[in-house]
């Protein structure tokens, strides 16, 4: 099963993807995670991407598409993928269609996790991540509740950058909602609920597709 997770930054895509990996054994590909690792490792890609990421802007399509072409061909994707944070532009969505077509793997659904922007600003400004295992928590977590690792705040989780990221989402990424609706692949899910409730709906939606 190949799934695109759509939704504004902070809508809960990463949290839902982590549950899907645990539950269904799908391969989680987060372009944001790949880019953050590249920045940390100071690779050529990381050096080119950092400035855009710090400002909350999109990294240019050519870089992202090149990176994804390589990633999606790796053997761990054969059972199915959950794409989190990709595609983010119509150009990327068309490139993804071509990649999947070449691999003879259809896209099964685009799940939109829908959350009000003001809820997102509050959520992201208090979001913390674990340096060790990547667990997504909140400012209330003194240490990672999963592995005890150190929690940190992402450089781009400050209010000004969050608001820019939401503007970028509106302009560049939200047109994908109509794109996937046009392909008859869009399923919208109310993301402004407890993550477990959101997940129950995500799961029943995916089980429905399997039938
Ligand atoms: P995320 O972790 O998905 O919120 O992504 C963090 C940042 O990485 C974004 O604000 C962008 O700067 C960059 N990024 C991640 N995925 C993409 C993408 N598909 N296209 C362009 N930039 C991306």
Q: What is the pLDDT of residues 25-36, one digit of tens each?
A: 899 999 999 999
Residue 114 token pair: 């829908």
Quick one: how far is CA 169 from the chain centroid? Answer: 12
**What are the angstrom distances between the C-alpha of 28 and each of 47, 86, 120?**
24, 11, 22
Number of domains in the chain: 1
pTM listed for this prediction:
0.90
Nearest CA owner, ligand 1 atom 12: 53
Query: Which residue from 10, 31, 60, 113 has its CB within 8 A of the most atoms of ligand 1, so it is best to mutate?
Result: 31
Strands 127-130 and 136-138: antiparallel
Which CATH number covers residue 167? 3.40.50.300
Which residue from 84, 111, 86, 85 is spatially nearest to 97, judged by alpha carbons? 86
| 6: exposed, middle or buried (Cβ count in 10 Å: 0-12, 13-18, 19+) | buried
| Domain coverage including residue 84 | 3-209
Nearest atom of ligand 1 to the alpha carbon of 13: 3
Strands, sheet with 136-138, edge to edge from the N-terminal-most edge strand = 136-138, 127-130, 151-152
pLDDT over 70 (residue 205): yes
Nearest atom of ligand 1 to the alpha carbon of 10: 4
Instruction: Tell whether the torsion through CA atoms of 2, 199, 181 and 33 is positive or negative.
Output: negative
- Place 176 in a pLDDT band, splitting at 50, 70 and 90: very high
pLDDT tens for 55-80 read 999 999 999 999 999 999 999 999 89
- Place 211 in a pLDDT band, splitting at 50, 70 and 90: low
pLDDT tens for 65-124 read 999 999 999 999 998 999 999 999 999 999 999 999 999 999 999 999 999 999 999 999
pLDDT tens for 6-48 read 999 999 999 999 999 999 989 999 999 999 999 999 999 999 9
Active centre residues (catalytic): 13, 88, 127, 154, 165
């Amino acid at each position: 099963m190949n799934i695109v997770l759509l939704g504004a930054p902070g809508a809960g895509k990463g949290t839902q993807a982590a549950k899907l990996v645990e539950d269904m054994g799908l391969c989680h590909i987060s372009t944001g995670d790949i880019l953050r690792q590249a920045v940390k490792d100071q690779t050529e890609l990381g050096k080119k991407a950092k400035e855009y990421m710090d400002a909350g802007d999109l990294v240019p399509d050519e870089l992202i598409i090149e990176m994804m072409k390589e990633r999606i061909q790796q053997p761990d994707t054969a059972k199915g993928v959950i794409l989190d944070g990709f595609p983010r532009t119509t150009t990327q969505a068309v490139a993804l269609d071509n990649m999947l077509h070449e691999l003879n793997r259809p896209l099964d659904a685009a799940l939109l996790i829908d959350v009000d922007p003001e809820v997102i600003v509050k959520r992201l400004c208090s979001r913390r991540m674990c340096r060790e295992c990547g667990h997504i928590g909140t400012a209330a977590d003194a240490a990672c509740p999963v592995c005890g690792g150190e929690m940190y705040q992402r450089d781009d989780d400050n209010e000004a950058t969050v608001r820019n990221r939401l503007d970028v989402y509106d302009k560049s990424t939200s047109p994908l909602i109509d794109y996937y609706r046009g392909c008859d692949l869009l399923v919208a899910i109310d993301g402004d609920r407890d993550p477990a409730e959101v997940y129950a709906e995500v799961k029943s939606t995916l089980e429905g597709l399997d039938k």
